Amino acid sequence: MDYSSFKTIADTQDWLALLPEITLCVSGLLLLLLDVLLPAKLNKWIPRLGILFNAVVVASLFCKGAPCPLCNGPQEFFNGMVKLTPLSQWFRLFF
Task: State the SS3 of 39-90.
Answer: CHHHCCHHHHHHHHHHHHHHHHHCCCCCCCHHHHCCEEECCCCEEECHHHHH
Report yes or no: 46 and 38 within 8 Å, Cβ to Cβ. Answer: yes
Model confidence pLDDT, tens digit, residues 44-94: 899 999 999 989 888 877 776 666 666 677 888 887 888 888 888 788 877
**Rounded (to 5) percent helix, strand, coil in the chain:** 70, 5, 25
Model confidence pLDDT, tens digit, residues 13-53: 788 888 888 888 999 999 999 999 989 888 889 999 999 99
56 strand-pairing partners: none
